[in-house]
Amino acid sequence: STANAPEDDALNRYSRTERTTFSRYSRDANSSGSSLPSNTLEKRIEELERELAKERQENARLIKMVQDKEELIGKLKEEIDLLNR
């Protein structure tokens, strides 16, 4: 469970940053008098949020795979050391 803590911290850090960025861009888009209707922008935002969620999920899966492989490498190194002795 401690191996997941850095991953959780990283995901939380990204989500806070992205929420701040999202809020800033949302205000800028609304105040700039953009030519796109607001519902088009809202649909695009929802689409991007779905893509972001998928990317985060894939990132978490890849991080887990790397951690599992690193753990296996460590175990194999220990086994090699024992066999060499």
- For residue 78, is pLDDT > 80? yes
Task: Name which residue leads in pLDDT, 8 or 72.
Answer: 72
Residues 52 and 18 sit within 8 Å (Cβ to Cβ): yes
pLDDT-based confidence at residue 1 (cuts at 50, 70, 90) = very low
**pTM for this model (two decimals):** 0.52
Contacts of residue 52, defined as CB under 8 A and 6 or more positions apart, other chains included, come to: 18
Q: Judge whether 4 and 68 are in contact, CB under 8 Å.
A: no
31-67, pLDDT tens digit by residue?
A: 555 567 889 999 999 999 999 999 999 999 999 999 9
Long-range contacts of 63-66, Cβ-Cβ distance < 8 Å, separation of 24 or more: 63/7, 63/10, 64/7
* Rounded average pLDDT over 65-78: 98
Please state, for a pLDDT cut of 70, what percent of the chain lies above it.
59
The answer to whether the CB of 45 falls within 8 A of the CB of 26 is: yes
Domain ranges of the chain: 37-84
